Amino acid sequence: MFSLLYRMVRDRALAEDLAQETFIKVLNGIKSYRPEFKFSSWIFKIANNAAIDHLRRKSIDTLSLDGAPSAETPEQMRATSLQLGDRTESPLDEVENRELGTAIERAIARLRPEYRSCILLRHVEGYSYEEIADTLELPLGTVKTYIHRARNELRGYLEDRRD
């Protein structure tokens, strides 16, 4: 479950926070667990929802590299733009770069979050299509479509790299 979260948000500390939040929700809400549902699927469902919620919030909060939307003059754009070159790499960043820096990991990061969850559950966690549909509460056909599209996109990214 931690691997899924880490690959979804690509930040170790944040993935730990979300994993912690997931387990606390699971353990404190154990009475709401329905036994007809696979226990691990229930945990994955809560974890995935936490990751998707975070990514949605982040996409709303993200500042443009060119500056805040309200910036009208070049000076305002410069003052509100993100300065990537100023960022010093911490030891944790180095670990993340090493762990998630391979071509396949970078290709996964470029997928839409919905595709990413499905492809990770299918090929990294070994879930069946039906289990993914149950876990993510998606129709089976949608899960198949997402996985096929995700694999196509991954192939495209990886083949571009090799060309």
Using CB under 8 A, pick the residue from 110, 112, 155, 161 that binds other proteins. 155
Count of CB atoms situated within 10 Å of the CB of 36: 6
Q: How far is the CB of 133 from other proteins (least distance, A)?
A: 14
Mapping DSSP to helix (H, G, I), strand (E, B) and coil, where does residue 60 land?
Answer: helix
Nearer to other proteins, 38 or 151 (CB): 151
**Residue 135 corresponds to which tokens in the numbers above?**
């876990």
* Tokens encoding 40: 């691990």
Q: Is 144 in the site for other proteins (CB under 8 A)?
A: yes
Contacts for 67-75: CB closer than 8 Å, 24+ residues apart: none
Of 42-50, 55-63, 131-139, 152-160, the segment contacting other proteins by CB under 8 A is 152-160
Per-residue buried b or exposed e for 109-139, using 16+ beta carbons within 10 Å of the residue's own CB: eebebbbbbbbbbbeeeebeeebbbbbbebe
**Looking at beta carbons only, is 77 or 100 nearer to other proteins?**
100
Q: Tokens representing 133?
A: 């549909």
**C-beta closer to other proteins: residue 15 or 46:** 15
The first and second tokens of residue 86, run together, are 């100023």
- Answer for which of 36, 61, 89, 159 binds other proteins (CB under 8 A) is 159
Contact 144, 129 (CB under 8 A): yes
Residue 25 Cβ vs other proteins, minimum distance, rounded to whole Å = 10
Query: What minimum distance in Å lies between the beta carbon of 20 and other proteins?
Result: 5
One of 58, 123, 140, 141 touching other proteins (CB under 8 A): 123
Q: Which residues bind other proteins (CB under 8 A)?
A: 2-3, 6, 12, 15-16, 19-20, 23-24, 27-28, 99, 104-105, 119, 123-124, 144, 148, 151, 154-155, 158-159
